């Protein structure tokens, strides 16, 4: 069985001898080869240059036996394609070129039809990767959920609370819905582009879904995610990762996503018991453990594997992305533990 077959079998909740494994942010600053490349090229240049994006995507696979490669890119390429660029502040964090403050700002954004041309470099990177992987390893595309993208676009950059976005949602619902409609249409175009270019699955990052609760989460996030998934090919594997939104797990399972990715605060076995058997789970080791010791990682990884023994539909991953401080020997211990588990 190839790694790609293993990954797709897990997405379909079919039995396997062990789960597939990949890690969010598995291409990044913890790798010395990535740091060396970044000394020559900026992050944005690497994202926008297909050959460089493909090179970075493949770097972790040259070290570790991951079952999937995830495209090296950024969720903010979609706002950029619509006319709202982004950059990284010297002091750290993300800054948009401007904040959306009114309906007029939203109306000035480019239409979804601009996506295929503006993001042709993403298609180019995926096509290179599809050729390089040759069907052996699963190839994942991704994008941000409309709510998460709107948070950055309305706030004008990163934030701990995204209070402007939440206030906009509550005080000008018509303008908010207009923005979400634009983002939803753009993401449908973007994900279709990724699928045409060779992606085997798509992960939707609702990184700020945990800022919403109850009916607000449905109105500001889930209804738009549901619309996106319904517009993609039937049964195509979509993974939904909504950090901090574990209380809405059942509601997430009704979006059409085939896989729910859990953050590290949730218990896998409990989540499995709450969800339909045709929904796969992804996760959910605490990424901070990868800054400790290989023995500690082996113990925690084995505990997670054993918690779902006898069930189907598990993709081993972290409960959030790898940090720059992650140790290479800890990542190696994680992958070895999963790939040799019986």
Q: What is the DSSP string of 148-216?
A: HHHHHHHHTB--SS-HHHHHHHHH-HHHHHHHHHHHHHHHHHHHHHHHHTT-SEEEEE-TTGGG--HHH
SS3 of residue 95 by DSSP: strand
pTM of the model: 0.97
Please answer whether residues 222 and 251 qualify as being in contact, where contact means their C-beta atoms are separated by less than 8 angstroms. yes
Closest CA to 58 of 106, 129, 115: 129
Confidence of residue 93 (pLDDT cuts 50, 70, 90): confident
Joined together, the tokens standing for residue 22 give 């990949």
Confidence of residue 89 (pLDDT cuts 50, 70, 90): confident
- Per-residue model confidence as pLDDT tens digits over 150-201: 999 999 999 989 999 999 999 999 999 999 999 999 999 999 999 999 999 9
The pLDDT, as a whole number, for residue 214 is 87
Per domain, the residue ranges of the chain are: 3-339
Sign of the Cα torsion 326, 129, 16, 320 reads positive
Residue 91 has pLDDT above 70, yes or no: no
Closest CA to 278 of 321, 323, 311, 243: 311
CA 40 to chain centre: 26
**CATH assignment, 3-339:** 3.20.20.210
CA distances from 43 to 39, 181, 182 (A): 10, 29, 27
Residue 70 φ then ψ, to 5°: -110, 130
Confidence of residue 92 (pLDDT cuts 50, 70, 90): confident
- Per-residue model confidence as pLDDT tens digits over 250-280: 999 999 999 999 999 999 999 999 999 999 9
Residue 140 φ then ψ, to 5°: -110, 135
């Amino acid at each position: 069985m190839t790694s790609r077959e293993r990954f797709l079998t897990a997405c379909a909740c079919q039995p396997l001898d062990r789960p597939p494994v990949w890690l969010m942010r598995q291409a990044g600053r913890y790798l010395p080869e990535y740091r060396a490349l970044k000394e020559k090229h900026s992050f944005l240049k690497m994202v926008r240059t297909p050959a460089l994006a493909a090179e970075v995507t493949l770097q972790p696979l040259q070290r570790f036996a991951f079952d999937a490669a995830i495209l090296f890119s950024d969720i903010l390429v979609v706002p950029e394609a619509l006319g709202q660029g982004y950059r990284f502040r010297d002091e750290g964090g993300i800054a948009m070129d401007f904040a959306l403050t009114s309906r007029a700002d939203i109306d000035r954004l480019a239409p979804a039809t601009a996506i295929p041309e503006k993001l042709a470099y993403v298609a180019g990177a995926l096509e290179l990767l599809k050729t390089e992987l040759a069907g052996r390893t699963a190839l994942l595309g991704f994008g941000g959920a409309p709510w998460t993208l709107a948070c950055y676009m309305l706030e004008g950059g990163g934030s701990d609370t995204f209070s402007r976005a939440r206030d906009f949602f509550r005080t000008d619902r018509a303008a908010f819905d207009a923005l979400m409609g634009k983002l939803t249409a753009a993401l449908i175009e973007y994900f279709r582009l990724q699928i045409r270019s060779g992606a085997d699955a798509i992960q939707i990052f609702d990184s700020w879904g945990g800022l919403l609760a109850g009916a607000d989460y449905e109105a500001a996030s889930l209804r738009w995610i549901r619309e996106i998934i319904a517009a993609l090919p039937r049964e195509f594997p979509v993974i939904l990762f909504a950090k901090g939104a574990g209380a809405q797990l059942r509601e997430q399972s009704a979006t059409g996503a085939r896989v729910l990715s859990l953050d590290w605060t949730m218990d896998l076995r409990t989540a499995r018991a709450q969800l339909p058997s045709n929904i796969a789970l992804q996760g959910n080791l605490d990424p901070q453990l990868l800054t400790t010791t290989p023995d500690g990682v082996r113990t925690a990884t084995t505990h997670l594997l054993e918690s779902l023994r006898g069930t189907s539909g598990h993709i081993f991953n972290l409960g959030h992305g790898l940090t720059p401080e992650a140790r290479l020997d800890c990542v190696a211990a994680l992958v070895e533990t999963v790939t040799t588990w019986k």
